[in-house]
Every structure is written in C-alpha cells, then in structure tokens.
Amino acid sequence: MGLINFIKSLIKKTNNRQVYPEPETLILWEGNKTVKFHWWPMKDQGNYYKCLKNNLYASGGCLDKYDSLFHMKSCEYQKKNYYRHTDSDKPDANWAGFCDSAALLSCTRKYPSHSVKVCYNENSVVFTPEDIEGLMIIVSRNTVSKGLTRFYGERYNYKHLDDINEPYPEDLVNILRDVCSDNIPFAIDICKKDSVWNYAYNSVLVKKVTYYPERFIDKVSKLSKTDNLLYYNFVINSTAYPEKNINIWGWHCEETNKGGWLSDEHPDFVWKKYSLSGPWKGVCDINPDVSVSQVYEIYMASISGIDEVYL
C-alpha cells in the first residue's frame, strides 16, 4: 500500500467514526480466589447415582453416612424439611436448594482436599471430599459471623410491589464500592425474577463512559434526548463460576438523576459474609441433628492433611 496511502487510510477511518473520551474507571478490584461448591438441589433426582451427587438426603450420601456413624436421624430430618418430589408442582421445585450456602462457602472457605476416616465408638466411616462438602453445606450458616452480614437490594418477586429494575446502575456502583473494600469475595443473586441463583464473585471492573454498545441503540433512542447521558459497564467475574461471569450495561442522566438498565439482566441483590475464626459452634441452623463442631473437626482434618480423626 505504501506508507503515505496507509496513513491516509487511517485518517479516513478516524474521520468516519466518532472519537470518544477515555473511559473513567470507577472500580478495579480483585479479591481472594473463589472455589466451586455444589448447590445441592432439594428436588429428588429420581435416580440413585444422580441423587448421590445432588441430594443431601440421598441413600449412601453424606448425611446417611453421618447417621450410620453417630446414630442420628439427620437424613430423615433433611428429607422431611428440604425435599421436592420429582413431579413436584411447587413454584420453586426447579431452583430450591442451597445455592446461598454454596456461595457463602465459595467466598469464605477452601474446598475439602482429601478423604478422612472418622472413628467414633469403635466404628469408622470414610468421608470423601464430596461428603465433607455436603456436611459443610448443612452447617454453612454456623461458619460465618451473623453480625457482619451485608445485604444490598430489595428482594424482587411477583407477589410484591418491589421495583424489578433495582438496584439501579448508580446504586450498584456504590454497592460494589462497599463490598470491594476488602479482599473477601461477595455473592450476587443474578436473577431479577422470583427464582434465586446465588454465585460467588471475586473481581470487578466498572467503567463510566459516554458511549454504549451498538446493540443497545434501540433502547437508547427511547431515552431522553439529552447530552448528559452517561453509561456504566459492569464486568463482574468469578473464578469458581466463570460461566456466570457478568458483563452488563446501564445508563444515568445527571440532569434528572435518573437511570436504568440497557442489559436485559442485572443483579437482584448483593450480599457478603465473613468467616468465623476458630471452631464452629452452636446448634446447626439447617439441620439440628448434625453437630457443627464434629463437621468442623472433619473439615479441618481434610484441609490439614490428616487422614484419620477420632471423635
């Protein structure tokens, strides 16, 4: 092409497109790594092997093993209180589970690293990492400080008059600034409808810009014809759940102090909890037939390289 013609082509391309100011980075944050914990649905999977991998009350599962060793009835309690039939017509049948516990643990704990042989009253049972994970889900609410919980966003569902658009972009910026003030990951309910899907996130990039992606041109054309519209791009990622990474856009008008979403989906609410240091104590919040302190000892053995514990 030749250097002169190449420069002319660059000038022509530049003249034919709008040149935007540099974006303003509002938040650039990376917290501790998150690890994946299963959400353990309540709905009966209808198959022995699928139940074993998905239902906490499954025959041969973590609670069944726990009861066989400690002579408890936690499996029976779990099925009585946290169960959906395979043909259940309950509105939450397909999403009821323990995604909140999974997200909580993903933010605050390491995943169990290896199996542990647990001895009790001259009997013993081997708990695999998956078994220990299931027990951790059961005691999850006892592993965090209740006083330090942060919760942002009004819960939306069709039975209440809550605003489906909240938190608005400007509010979400402030929420993220707060939960990104330390290195502990946080959780987001990513679904703005009646179902709840919580996932753990550990990196955030928020930019304020004067432009928007071309795919939103129809939505922007319906907004107020003002020169003071600004746009926010939220990139919120998870090392544990990369398939749930978020990349969304919103707008804000400084003149009217109003805003909204260009993207169809946005966070419903954001929350953050902090792990307790030392042994877990108290009556198990989810299943009172499980000893919180026993699960703590089993978990600590798993992540500490101890193959056998006596309880």
Dist. CA 311–CA 309, nearest whole Å? 6
Residue 299 has pLDDT above 80, yes or no: yes
Closest by CA to 200, choosing from 252, 165, 243, 145, is 243
Residue 160 has pLDDT above 60, yes or no: no
Dist. CA 299–CA 283, nearest whole Å? 17
For residues 110-122, give the mean pLDDT: 97
Domain boundaries, the chain: 20-35+155-272, 48-146+283-310
Closest by CA to 63, choosing from 113, 133, 124, 117, is 133
Looking at residue 154, its amino acid is E
With pLDDT > 90 as the criterion, what percentage of the chain qualifies?
A: 79
Looking at residue 249, its amino acid is W
Residue 12 has pLDDT above 90, yes or no: no
**pTM for the whole structure:** 0.88
Dist. CA 107–CA 273, nearest whole Å? 8
Dist. CA 146–CA 169, nearest whole Å? 28
**Among 9-23, 55-69, 95-109, 235-249, the least confident range:** 9-23
> What are the tokens at 15?
């003249």
Report in angstroms the alpha-carbon separations of 135 from 37, 102, 107, 169, 284: 12, 11, 17, 38, 11
For residues 179-202, give the mean pLDDT: 93
For residues 179-191, give the mean pLDDT: 95
Looking at residue 16, its amino acid is N
